[in-house]
Amino acid sequence: MREDWLQAGRKLVFTTDCEQYRDIYRTRIAGVFPDRLDLKIPLHKGYLLLIPVGAALRILHPSGAHTLTAQVVARRTAEKIWSVSIPRLERREHRTQVIAIGSGKGGVGKTTLSINLSLALCRLGKRVLLLDADIGMANVEVLLKLNAPRNLTDVLNGECSLRDVITEAPGGLKIIPGSSGISSLTSWDLLRFNRIISGFADVEDDFDIFVVDTGAGISELVLKFLEAADSLILTTTPEPHALMDTYSAAKALALRGSPLNPLMVFNRCDSEDEARRCLEKIHRATGQFFQANPEMQGRINPEMLGWIYEDKKVTQSLKNQNPLLLCEPDGEYARRVLEIAGRLTGQSITAPPAATAASAAKPSGIVAFLQRIKRGLR
């Protein structure tokens, strides 16, 4: 069935399968026919974009929810026209789970958890991509002893594709290095957003889980990442000020509208009892918030995803730039993180928290995640 928005004069955003044309481009529909579309050949860097006959185009739907595919069947350079086959919906059964990890304050082990949890998910057989989105302290690359030549800023500027910046890390993990370009997300224009969306659409089938290591605190950028994810993890320690900052982050998310059930990971605990006491303190704080704001009732319900012992070996592993899950894969720390990974993926005897099931109600996947962020910026 032909899409009703495919009409003469309509502007399109697309990418191609040609190695020499890997950016995001814009064109306009010049004519609609029973067997084809005629598209205007656009200029790119001052030259006509001479994509060859036979090349495939991936056209982004105006909603951004899916893509369509077409093939260049003829080219009339003198008229600056391509003829392409009628675009068909690109069916996608695979959806990558997006997990965003945040914290109310810095220094509670958020990035250490992001790295080790990602490695644990790899050990469970998942294909994992980790994005270092902590702009102020972007250090995933440092802690993994990597030196990537490119990052997301190069993709935003059209200098390379997203595939070009994905970097191999130890343990089968893939990462997207930290980039100052993420800090300007709220001012990205349509072209930059489409470069990122199209890039992730291209790689989504390659990954089962996309982990986003956000910044600490409750900046606008951090909150957008957290609320747009399929699963939201907040990590904290038992210190009262850390718990209060975590409650503040949960409250800030609740005030933004959608019901959210953050999954809590309590770090540097002496026992499970201490972790549960921490959860009770957060529940008491949210209960008081609901009493003062009854219209917010039920909007947020933190659940415990897991807890981790205080382990001095973690500090040493950071100094050595060798994650503890790799250097002591059978240790207590690794066991705890693997339990958390198992609950996230349903590979544990313990049932996953209710929040995991609840998050499945909204469209999942990396592209859907980015579209939710994009809509929030309008």
Give pLDDT, residue 355: 40
Based on its alpha-carbon atoms, the radius of gyration of the chain, rounded to whole angstroms, reads 23
CA 181 to chain centre: 15
Contact 334, 340 (CB under 8 A): no
Q: With CA atoms as reference, report the closest residue to 365 among 171, 183, 206, 162.
A: 206
Tens digits of residue pLDDT in 141-165: 888 888 888 888 888 887 888 889 9
DSSP readout, 160-180?
Answer: S-HHHH-EE-GGG-EEE---G
Give pLDDT, residue 1: 43
Tens digits of residue pLDDT in 95-147: 789 999 999 888 898 999 999 999 999 999 999 999 988 765 557 888 888 88
Domain ranges of the chain: 11-89, 97-376
User: Considering the domain 97-376, what is its CATH architecture?
Assistant: 3-Layer(aba) Sandwich (3.40)
For residues 308 and 66, the model is more confident at 308
* Secondary structure E strands in 189-291: 209-216, 231-236, 263-269
Q: Which residue has the tokens 């990205």?
A: 188
Q: What is the DSSP letter of 247?
A: H
Contact 300, 355 (CB under 8 A): no
* pLDDT tier, 358 (very low <50, low <70, confident <90, very high otherwise): very low
pLDDT at residue 40 greater than cutoff 70: yes
Tens digits of residue pLDDT in 225-264: 888 888 999 999 999 999 999 988 888 888 887 667 889 9
- Give me the amino acid identity at 137: M
In whole angstroms, give the CA distance from residue 18 to residue 21.
Answer: 5
Give pLDDT, residue 4: 73
pTM: 0.76
Contact 340, 120 (CB under 8 A): yes
CB-facing half-sphere around the CA of 61: CA atoms within 13 A: 17
Q: Average pLDDT in the 161-178 region?
A: 91
Task: With residue 7 as reference, give the H or E element that holds it.
Answer: none
How many Cβ atoms are within 10 Å of 194's Cβ, its own excluded? 22
Q: Is the dihedral of CA 141, 145, 147, 150 positive or negative?
A: negative
Q: What is the DSSP letter of 158?
A: T
For residues 56 and 195, the model is more confident at 56
Q: Average pLDDT in the 167-180 region?
A: 88
For residues 67 and 237, the model is more confident at 237
Give pLDDT, residue 48: 87
